[in-house]
Amino acid sequence: MSKTKIILSLVAVIAVAAFFVMRGAKPAQPATADVVKPALTVTTVAPELRDWPQRLSASGPVLAWQEAIIGAEVGGVRLVELRANIGDKVKKGQELARLSDETLSADMQQQQAAFDEASARYDEAEANAKRALSIKDSGVMSAQEMQQFVNAAAIAKAQKQAAAARLQSARLKVRYTHIVAPDDGLISARNATLGSVSQPGTEMFRMIRQGKLEWRAELTAAQVQLIRVGQKVRVHDGIEDTAQGVVTRIAPALDVVTRSGYAYIALSGAQSLRAGMFAEGEFDLGKRNALTVPQGAVVIRDGYSYVYKVGKDGRVEQMKIETGRRDNDRIEVVRGLTADAQVVASGAGFLSDGDLVNVVTVLPKLKAASALSLELHSNI
């Protein structure tokens, strides 16, 4: 093969290769930047400063304000009548039960007769002493004889007084056969049994004086320092009933076992409360400013509270906060947030730290309603 043919063959091969290379080559595409889409469309809200009432929660039992134990004051007498039962409202002096008075009445009549006899003897001795003293200067009677008449009158007087005391005791025993209420109140227990023989001091009835109840709130040492006599309290019985109360006294010492202090609250206005119940209540400690956010803005994760603050670049920052009181749909932020921050109002649970969000503005309810009305009228 000649040199010329070899050169032509090489040129042909190069041309064919160049053709196929040019045919398969693509024009270079311009580089484009990555486009980041917002994770969520949200509305923001600024924390609001509100004047909220400050309350202290506690729990404890409901007790009787004062209890009266009613029993017999005479012994060995049979109970013949019961006129009160558990739950009865009674008035002061109202008869609750009656004991047999036959024996005691007979004894009273006997003491009455003894008193009448002693009175007659005293009258006679007193008259004799007066006559003796009237002839004192006549010399008919010696000084010793006159002194005897005077002493006899004094003895008769003492005997009359003793008889009067025995008669009064007998009358009291008869009166004590009528068991009466010592005050207005509510019968809470009855241990008396018809036909039983009374014993002095044995409990027959137990009464809540004036039907009043009080709540004994159990408090920590720090909480006791915040309580004052006269503060208002709301007590809940757990059945959607609320009683109003006022702190009447505070225990001066803590319990040595539980290290708890106690405040006693006089209750009024709750028909469902009963002595012995366990209740919860709130002490009104006055008002205090509170930085609040909507409840939907707070996210609970791993036992901690967070809000998402929206930056100028549209990215959210997860901020850990400490919450306090709650009122309807708002929560107090005690620590971790400033008043000028813009936080995600709702849907924060779907966000993560650093997410890009699309912030929209929500019209107030009145403006939105007006805009909707205007649109409807324009379409008619």
Please compute, for residue 35, the number of CA atoms within 13 A of its CA located in the half-sphere on the CB side: 3
> Is the torsion defined by CA of 290, 295, 299, 300 positive or negative?
positive
Average pLDDT over residues 73-96: 93
Cα 314 from chain centroid (whole Å): 48
Closest CA to 239 of 272, 269, 280: 272
More confident residue, 97 or 357: 97
More confident residue, 9 or 85: 85
More confident residue, 229 or 271: 229
Closest CA to 260 of 118, 117, 58, 17: 58
Strands 213-219 vs 232-236: parallel, antiparallel or unpaired: unpaired
Mean pLDDT of the chain: 83
What CATH number should be reported for the domain whose range is 35-65+212-380?
Answer: 2.40.30.170
pLDDT at residue 160 in the model = 93
Question: How many Å from the N-terminal Cα to the C-terminal Cα in the chain?
Answer: 95
State the span(s) of the chain assigned CATH 2.40.30.170: 35-65+212-380
What pLDDT band is residue 29 in, cutting at 50, 70 and 90?
Answer: very low
Residues 6+ apart with CB under 8 A from 329: 294, 295, 296
Tens of pLDDT, residue by residue over 119-175, are: 999 999 999 888 888 877 676 777 787 888 889 989 999 999 999 999 999 999 999
**Is the pTM for the entire model greater than 0.75?**
no
Largest CA distance in the chain: 206
354/48 Cα distance (integer angstroms): 24
More confident residue, 244 or 372: 244
Cβ atoms of residues 59 and 371 within 8 Å = no
